[in-house]
Structure 1
Amino acid sequence: MSDKLGALREYDIHSDWTIYNRRLESYFKANGIEDDEKKRAILLNSLNEEAYKLMYNLCMPVVPENKQYNELTSIFDEHFKSSLSPFAARYKFYNSAMDAHETVANWAARVRSLAGQCEFGSTVYDWVLRDRFIIGFEKGPIQDRLFEEKITCSFSDVITIASSKMAAQKNSCMEEVKIEPGLHHISQHPRTPSTAQNRSVMSDSGASGSGVQNRRKKCTVCGRRNHFTSDYISPKFIKARPLPYGIKEKVEKEIDRLIELGVLKQVDYSRWASPIVPVLKKDGSVRICGDFKITINPHLEVDQFPLPLVDDILAELGGSVIFSKIDLSHAYNQVELEEESQDSGVC
């Protein structure tokens, strides 16, 4: 087992030489390597074939093995030295913005990286990074919160505030909505089985028998008789939940697409409203689902049917030679709701 501390990966010319050189110096210091020949040998051995060829060409007519370690690092320092002027670097810095998929910590790190070649003075360095960090946010609750801070706040202060605000915003998106008990009607004067209303109650509830039998059943909400819960449901209107900024544009485009296809239609008023649940698919698109478990699902009359066993299905398929499969895109959108049910499907 090696008694060396740490490990060095191969260096390729597409990596950052400045960062690799600093790691190399840390490796030498951690392992007490001070001999110049050892340093040179480790450096050359750490270069991949493409990087060694570059070093070899830059050292001509002398081979790299005959150069001092400091000479080799200076050759690469000069070769990989950025030709970007401070003004060009500042142009990139001042035009940067937080990406939709970036975390607060990653955005702060990118701001620091972009400022590396801008040659900001030490007296204004923290202020400039702070300002770019705040302005780079998309307009919204996080930037509004940062605008409330005093001008004396530091770069580290605004990073902490933005991280806390983003965490709170994510938690609010996942917050469960409390279900309030629905109001329902209690009939004070039950009608006879021959009335039209009584026949409608029987049909809607799926019950059979006389009106007297129906009056003996208890409401699942209040426990009283003479009415059914499903016949007197109070509509629920749940406010829309805030969307993560990373998928907000995708959700809006998907809604527009579904409206254009006629799957959805826009309404100005509804007694029912369920919040949507956007699901990010593997191909990067968004599937929009409705969170009906807090609105209409508790009141649905479900047709219960036992699922067949796998063995039963295989037994029925025995002897078959031709098989077919249907795969419906957006399967639930293939079934159109009846007009009287569309109001309860509003999202």
Structure 2
Amino acid sequence: MAVSSNVIYGGNLTFDHNAQEWRIFKERFEAMCFANDLTDTTDKAGTKRRSILLTTFVEETYRVAKDLVFPKTLNTIEYSTLLEKLDAHFESPKCSFAERYKFYKAEQRTGEDLGEWAARVRSLAQFCGFTTELDTALRDRFVLGLENAKEREKLFAESVDKLTFSKALHLAQATRSARQGLQATGSSRQAAAGIGGGEVFAVRASVSPSQPNNTNNSNNTRQACAICGYKNHTKDKCRYVNYSCKKCNTKGHLSRMCKMSDKKFNYIAEETDDIHEDLTM
């Protein structure tokens, strides 16, 4: 609906120079004017656009604009002249070398998504003065600034002559997705090999060497598993092979079988033994 119907698309815009960036607001304001068919053709004098712009200013910003056009007034100054004065005041000149320094020093932040990192690289390049070499600069900064070594390694294997910025982003996202999928599969397998999953070994009542039992003589002669201490399976079939010892933090045995321990277990644990205290991944 056009301005003539007293309804303005995007008419809730406001601008506070202390809290907002003039360049971003100006682009939004121009988009709003276009949506409402306010152009150099339909608003040749710019009076409507000037009036709408002034109504978006908070009081302090309005006062700044008023001072900028003095001795003229805001209601009489041309729209194009008003924009020029606001541009000159709110947009400080950029030093290309300083902007390039910030660009080349940028690195992906911890927890920053790949898409967000790519967008930040683009933003940092805005005032660097890159022309034909823009895509190459964007690609190089994106790749070299990646936080994850696996994603960086994948892109390092690509041909520098064929790898574009957009392709680098796509490959990095695909690598991350594949890695996360693999981790999820690995977690599922570990869970299946843990308590309540995978192959379950029988747990028999303990038999002390001083209390021989004819029915368990065969078990007493079997060597205890070096990982968990049970005698009902061999080391290569132990389901606790991926757990870590709580005493030495070494993966491959439980604390009950740790060489740092003063105790040695040469019997089959009872069903009531609580092995859960020894388990940690």
Output the TM-score relative to the length of structure 1.
0.57
Sequence identity percentage: 28
Superposed counterparts of 1:131-210, under 5 Å:
131-151=140-160, 152-175=162-185, 176-177=188-189, 178-179=192-193, 180-184=198-202, 196=211
Check if 1:19 corresponds to 2:37. Answer: no
Cα separation, partners in 2 of 1:69 and 1:301, compared to 1, 3 Å: farther
Partner of 1:10: 14
**Structure 1's 52 and 345: CA in aligned 2 closer, same or farther, altered over 3 A?**
same
TM (norm. structure 2) is 0.70
Could you tell me how far apart the structure 1 residues matched to 2:243 and 2:153 are?
A: 22
User: Which blocks of at least 5 consecutive residues in structure 2 are unaligned?
Assistant: 217-229, 256-269
Match of 1:53 among 38, 60, 63: 63
Does residue 268 of the first structure (1) align with residue 202 of the second (2)? Answer: no
Amino acid at match of 1:32: D
Who is 1:334 aligned against?
none
| Structure 1 residue 82 displacement after superposition | 2.9
Match in the other structure for 1:346: 280
Aligned 8 A contact 1:9 1:46 in 2: yes
- State the 1:101 CA deviation: 1.4
CA 1:239–1:158: 2 relative to 1, 3 Å:
farther
Indicate the residue corresponding to 2:263 in structure 1.
none
Quote the offset at 1:197 in angstroms: 6.1
In 1, Cα distance between equivalents of 2:201 and 2:60: 76
Match of 1:78 in 2: 88
Residue 38 of structure 1 is matched in structure 2 by 48
Question: Paired residue for 2:111?
Answer: 101
Matches of residues 251-330 of structure 1 in structure 2 within 5 Å? 265-268=247-250, 270-272=252-254
**Is the 1:235–1:272 contact (alpha carbons within 8 Å) kept by the matching residues of 2?**
no
> Out of 91, 95, 100, which is 2:101 matched to?
91
Change (3 A) 1:301 1:21: farther
AA matched with 1:270: G
Q: How does 1:232-251 map to 2 (within 5 A)?
A: 232=232, 234-238=238-242
Q: 1:236 to 1:56 in 2, by over 3 A?
A: same
Preserved CA contact (<8 Å) 2:243 2:253? no
Report the CA distance shift for 1:160/1:7 in structure 2 as closer, same or farther (over 3 A): farther
Q: Map 1:120-135; keep pairs closer than 5 Å.
A: 120-121=130-131, 123-135=132-144
TM-superposed deviation, 1:170? 2.5
Q: What are the ranges of 5 or more consecutive residues in structure 1 without an aligned counterpart?
A: 202-229, 241-263, 274-298, 303-337
**Which 4+ stretches in 1 moved above 6 angstroms?**
none
Q: Report the alpha carbon displacement of residue 345 of structure 1 after superposing the two structures with TM.
A: 2.1
Q: 2:100 touches 2:128 (CA, 8 Å); kept in 1?
A: yes
> In 1, Cα distance between the equivalents of 2:155 and 2:271?
46
For residue 311 of structure 1, what is the aligned residue in structure 2?
Answer: none
Contact preservation (8 Å) 2:243, 2:251: no
Change in CA separation of 1:139 and 1:32 when aligned onto 2, cut-off 3 Å = closer
AA matched with 1:238: N
Contact 2:107/2:146 (<8 A) preserved: yes
8 Å contact from structure 1 (residues 235, 271) kept in 2: no
CA deviation profile, 1:74-122 (whole Å, cap 9, x unmatched): 111111223331000000000000001110100000000000000012x
SS of 1:66's equivalent? coil
Alignment coverage as a number of residue pairs: 227
Name the SS of the counterpart of 2:125 in structure 1.
helix
- 1:116 aligned counterpart, secondary structure: coil
Cα offsets for 1:273-330 (capped at 9, x unmatched): 9xxxxxxxxxxxxxxxxxxxxxxxxx9869xxxxxxxxxxxxxxxxxxxxxxxxxxxx
Amino acid at match of 1:141: K
CA deviation after TM superposition for structure 1 residue 21, in Å: 1.1
Cα displacement string for residues 194-242 of structure 1 (whole angstroms, at most 9, x for unaligned residues): x8366xx9xxxxxxxxxxxxxxxxxxxxxxxxxxxx98474422389xx
